[in-house]
Amino acid sequence: MRVGVALNILSVNKSDAETFREHLALADLVEPLGFDSLRALEHHFTGYAMSPDPTQILTVFAGRTKRIQLGTAVIVLPWHDPIRVAEEIALLDILCGGRCDFGFGRGAASVE
């Protein structure tokens, strides 16, 4: 069995910068604690999460990790140019040494 962590960036009474710093620090623990993967989500305009670009977040961890799988859960494909998404995922996969996988979806909230 493989166990991973999904990074759902939620801000409660904090600045955006502080929220991202805290969540990135939390994600820094994923590999040392023995988890197998880190997943980044995409949400826009929902109040549910601050996750506008999962590939950018995962690119940070391509340089900070050596072993864990990096993936999206999910990229809301209807909001993007699919060629651009494919290029970004391919670049991330190269940067992390083939440890990238990805998921696409239509979104979770009605606005998505």
Per-residue pLDDT at 24 exceeds 90: yes
Task: Please report whether residue 110 resides in a domain.
Answer: no
Residue 111 is assigned to a structural domain of this protein: no
Quick one: average pLDDT of 93-106? 94
Number of domains comprising the chain? 1
Q: Per the domain annotation, does 94 fall within a domain?
A: yes
88, part of any domain: yes
Contact in structure between 38 and 4 (CB atoms under 8 Å):
yes
For residues 97-104, give the mean pLDDT.
95
Give per-residue burial for 88-109: e unless 16+ CB within 10 Å, then b. Answer: bbeebbeebeebbebebeebee
Q: What is the span of the domain harbouring residue 77?
A: 4-105
What are the tens digits of pLDDT across the range 52-92?
Answer: 899 999 999 999 999 999 999 989 998 899 999 999 999 99
Mean residue pLDDT across the chain: 91
